[in-house]
Amino acid sequence: MATGSTKAVYAALFGNLGIAITKFIAAALTGSASMWAESYHSASDTVNQILLLLGIKISKKPADKLHQFGFGKSQFFWSFIVATMIFGISGILSLQHGFSSLLGEEHHFDNPTINYVVLAIAFAFEGNALRIALNQFKKPIVKRGDKVRFTSLFQEFKNSKDTSIITVVVEDTAALLGIVVAAVGILLTDITGNTQFDAISSIIIGVLLMSFAFFLAKENRGLLIGESISIEEEKQIIKVVSDLSEVNKVVNIKTMHLGPTTAIVGIEVNLIDDLDTDKIETITDVIEHEIMKVIPNSKKEYIFVEIER
């Protein structure tokens, strides 16, 4: 796992831990339903970062007889567990607290100033964690020589297989949106004296978290099942192999990610006539070398070249 992704997870972990403790204290003192929802959110995010770090650690284990392609997919598994925790803990508890406050007896709401201060501090910490995560997320774009703009960020987000950094970006974005929603609910309750605004904010936060969780679960599900490399990378492989003078055409190519940066590649090619065995072995090595240029972080032993007979 890249050091940058690990750095982003650590930044989110320590930020969320401090924020969670502060939010729980504020929620207990003020009784705000939306602050309780934010407390559950930050507590869940703290546990989530620990699970992401666990996935990163396991993914670095060397391959063994039982797991001959390594443990890279453990990151996808733990990221999937994180998504279900966001849905099951943060989302459901936020909804439950919001609906119980909205439909039940009016909950107490005191000292809103405490909430404003805590939310402002939380916004600053979450914003810094998101900045660190985005800086790491932009590195592949800069490395390719592309300009960092919305379209390139969206494309990278769509194609990236680094579920740890994606999860941190999604969590921090959800956290910032949740803070804004909570602040609006608390402000409206403070102005009107109607605690239903606070309760509704908690419900909105719950729905928001569930939506982000569903997106993360869907992304990780595809990688766990066995997702191929990006269309752009596949096109590059086909091009560099087809451009070799000894290759007539690429007959077939199948790929699957074994981790964020490693993939297994099976490629079948049709070669020109009258090549002896030594030349075929040489061109096979060249094809492997060209594929490694496209996916440099993968491993040569994960590339399988088959000659069409």
Q: What is the pLDDT of residues 77-132, one digit of tens each?
A: 988 888 887 777 778 888 887 888 778 755 566 778 888 888 898 898 888 888 88
| Residues whose CB falls within 8 Å of the CB of residue 284, separated by 6 or more in sequence, listed in order | 305, 307
The last residue of a domain, from among 225, 248, 275: 225
* 26 touches 177 (CB < 8 A): no
* 302 touches 69 (CB < 8 A): yes
pLDDT digits (tens, 9 = 90+) for 28-37: 888 888 788 8
Residues 219 and 252 in one domain: no
The CATH number of residue 199's host domain is: 1.20.1510.10
pTM: 0.77
Q: Please give the radius of gyration of the chain, using alpha carbons only, rounded to the nearest integer.
A: 24
Residues 108 and 70 in one domain: yes
The CATH number of residue 241's host domain is: 3.30.70.1350
How far from 286 is each of 1, 274, 282, 298, 302, CA to CA, in Å?
A: 27, 18, 6, 16, 15
Burial zone of 218 (CB within 10 Å; 0-12 exposed, 13-18 middle, 19+ buried): exposed
Tokens of 72: 């890279």
Q: Please count the residues of the chain.
A: 309
Say how far apart CA 73 and CA 260 lie, in whole Å.
8
Residues 218 and 290 in one domain: no
Residues 107 and 178 in one domain: yes
Q: Is 149 helix (H, G, I), strand (E, B) or coil?
A: coil
Residues 176 and 65 in one domain: yes
* 37 touches 23 (CB < 8 A): no
Strands 263-271 and 247-257: antiparallel
**Core vs surface per residue 151-174: b (16+ CB within 10 A) or e:** ebbeebeeebbbbbbbbbbbbbbb
The stretch 213-234 carries a mean pLDDT of 87
| Residues whose CB falls within 8 Å of the CB of residue 144, separated by 6 or more in sequence, listed in order | none
pLDDT digits (tens, 9 = 90+) for 119-169: 898 898 888 888 888 888 888 778 777 777 777 777 777 778 888 888 888
pLDDT of residue 2: 47
Residues 32 and 174 in one domain: yes
**Tally of domains within the chain:** 2
> What is the domain extent for residue 218?
3-225
